[in-house]
């Protein structure tokens, strides 16, 4: 009986020693992100790889949907806690940089080591900075292309994807069918979506904000809003009030000829056995353009191990990591020196990387990104496409609101 008790107490001591020991020696690096989709295994694999190579600072990853992660993050950061490293959309960066919660990594970037800015596109460099200082390193990079349903194109007698706006509008009208068996020419989601409308404004030479000033009342912006607003309202080329997820679903069900979105949809569309391909967005009077998007990595200023955090953040920028992301998920690599590389074996990654040179970020460096997008831009688009206001009126009103937001 005594022996059993001794054995038991010895094993308890041993377990306690192991538990305390591991806690004392390996201080984990906490990493929050929202990669709940098909790219999750890739993110997990790269994180595990880094953890295996750094047993003293293994990464403890917390993956939950972006929305809830961001809600938690605000509270955590404001109370001085929060994870060591966070991945979020570039649009979140200005707010956190302005608040002083995240680390300035300008010196590390300027040093040109693992975070060499010379391989980043100018647009990417711009959104990684706030007030001239680097606060983030990129994790991935995406461009948007025009997805088209090959069967619908063939049935409408369209032999190749349109290259100019004139051909595009003709193709959209040709593939739009109204009535009970409706089919949409081009899906243009207006809320809860990767931005579509800014691309149409840029294509005509317009913009939302230009040189820090509201640009919605510009003639070219209004021209684009009038042209596309009219196609939505009168030609019914897309359902109105469409969210991004609704648009993806519609295209996937074969009820739409074209949709503008990013490389993340290729997995789902291929799995649904849709006969589709992607092409650059047709060129408008304003020249070729598409939207760029990026998930960026930032470091909590309160981190206890800035060196390990920086090393982890830099890992994502390496050639090996970017090739794995590109080949696994179809995202174009964020490094310009990998564009056209023979190691880029994923056909989608190769296609999406062709439009990187003409890609632009929407509303870069805007602290009020959420307000501009949700309270000014989306209501303006809906007001036009639901026929509540003429494009010029809605644009003027939105321009005034925008002006208030930019100069509080």
Partner 1 sequence: MSSRTARLQPSRPWPAMPNRTTIAAWCFLAPSLIVLAVFVFWPIVYSFDLSLHKWKFSADAQEWAGFANYARMWRDARFWNALGNTVYYTAFTVPLGVALPLALALALNRAIPFRALLRSAFFLPVIASFAIVALAWRFMLDPDIGLLAYWLSFLGMPHVSPLRDPNLAMPAVIIASLWKNLGFNMVIYLAGLQAIPIVLYEAARIDGANSFQQFWNVTWPQLRTTNIFVLVISIIGAFQVFDPAFVMTPGGGPLFSTETLVTYIYRQGITNLNLSYAASIGIFLFAVVFLLTLAQLRITRSWED
Give the number of residues in contact with partner 1, rule: CB under 8 A.
34
Beta-carbon neighbour count of residue 146 at 10 Å? 21
Based on CB atoms, which residue is closest to partner 1, 57 or 252?
A: 252
Please give the structure tokens belonging to residue 216.
Answer: 């919605």
Helices 391-406 and 378-385 cross at an angle (nearest 10°) of 170
Q: Within positions 122 to 181, which residues make up the interface with partner 1, using CB under 8 A?
A: 179-180
Of 217 and 389, the one with the shorter C-beta distance to partner 1 is 389
Segment 223-252, which members bind partner 1 (CB under 8 A)? 239-243, 246, 249-250
Query: Interface with partner 1 includes 261 (CB under 8 A)?
Result: no
Measure the CA dihedral 58/63/66/72, to 10°. -70
The verdict on 404 binding partner 1 (CB under 8 A) reads: no
Give me the residues paired with residue 147 across strands.
259, 278
172 to 201, contacts with partner 1 by CB under 8 A? 179-180, 182, 191-192
User: Token pair of 206, please?
Assistant: 């317009």
Within residues 308-337, the interface with partner 1 by CB under 8 A covers none
CA 137 from chain center: how many Å? 14
Residue 294 · residue 138 · CB < 8 Å: yes
User: Binding of partner 1 at residue 386 (CB under 8 A)?
Assistant: yes
Closest to 168 in 3D by CA, of 255, 282, 329 = 282
CB of 358 to partner 1, least distance (A): 29
Identified binder of partner 1 from the candidate list 305, 375, 393, 400, rule CB under 8 A: 375
C-alpha 319: how far from its chain's center? 20
CB of 260 within 8 A of CB of 281?
Answer: yes
By CB under 8 A, the residues from 43 to 102 that bind partner 1 are: 71, 74, 78, 95, 98-101
What is the Cα–Cα distance from 260 to 352, expressed in whole angstroms?
12
Closer CB to partner 1, 11 or 99, in the complex: 99
- 301: exposed, middle or buried (C-beta count within 10 Å: 0-12, 13-18, 19+)? middle
CB closer to partner 1 out of 356 and 380: 380
Q: How far is the CB of 388 from partner 1 (least distance, A)?
A: 7
Give residues in contact with partner 1 (CB under 8 A): 71, 74, 78, 95, 98-101, 179-180, 182, 191-192, 239-243, 246, 249-250, 253, 255, 368, 370-371, 374-375, 378-379, 382-383, 386, 388
């Amino acid at each position: 009986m005594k022996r059993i008790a001794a054995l038991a107490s010895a094993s308890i001591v041993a377990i306690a020693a192991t538990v305390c020991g591991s806690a004392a020696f390996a201080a984990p690096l906490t990493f929050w992100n929202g990669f709940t989709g098909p790219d999750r295994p890739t993110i997990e694999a790269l994180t595990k790889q880094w953890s295996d190579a750094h047993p003293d600072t293994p990464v403890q990853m917390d993956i939950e949907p972006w929305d809830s992660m961001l809600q938690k993050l605000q509270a955590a950061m404001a109370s001085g806690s929060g994870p060591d490293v966070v991945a979020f959309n570039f649009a979140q960066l200005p707010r956190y940089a302005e608040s002083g919660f995240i680390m300035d990594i300008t010196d590390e970037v300027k040093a040109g080591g693992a975070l060499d800015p010379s391989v980043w596109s100018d647009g990417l460099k711009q959104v990684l900075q706030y007030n001239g200082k680097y606060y983030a390193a990129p994790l991935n990079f995406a461009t948007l292309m025009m997805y088209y349903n090959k069967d619908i194109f063939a049935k409408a007698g369209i032999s190749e994807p349109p290259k100019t706006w004139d051909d595009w509008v003709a193709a959209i009208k040709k593939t739009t069918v109204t009535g009970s068996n409706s089919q949409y020419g081009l899906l243009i989601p207006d809320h809860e979506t990767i931005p579509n409308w800014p691309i149409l404004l840029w294509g005509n030479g317009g913009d939302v904000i230009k040189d820090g000033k509201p640009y919605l009342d510009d003639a070219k912006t209004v021209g684009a809003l009038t042209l596309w607003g009219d196609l939505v309202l009168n030609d019914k080329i897309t359902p109105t009030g469409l969210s991004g997820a609704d648009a993806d679903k519609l295209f996937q069900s074969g009820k739409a000829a074209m949709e503008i979105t990013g490389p993340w949809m290729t997995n789902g569309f291929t799995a649904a056995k849709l006969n589709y391909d992607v092409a650059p967005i047709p060129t408008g009077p304003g020249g070729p353009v598409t939207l760029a998007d990026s998930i960026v990595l930032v470091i909590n200023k309160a981190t206890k191990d800035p060196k390990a955090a920086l090393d982890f953040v830099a890992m994502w920028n390496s050639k090996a990591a970017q090739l794995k992301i590109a080949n696994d998920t179809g995202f174009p690599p964020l490094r310009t020196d990998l564009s056209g590389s023979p190691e880029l074996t994923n056909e989608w990654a190769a296609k999406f990387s062709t439009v990187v040179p003409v890609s632009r970020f929407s509303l870069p460096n805007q602290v009020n990104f959420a307000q501009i997008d949700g309270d000014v831009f989306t209501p303006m688009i809906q007001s036009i496409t639901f026929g509540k206001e003429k494009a010029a009126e809605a644009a003027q009103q939105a321009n005034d609101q925008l002006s208030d937001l930019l100069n509080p």
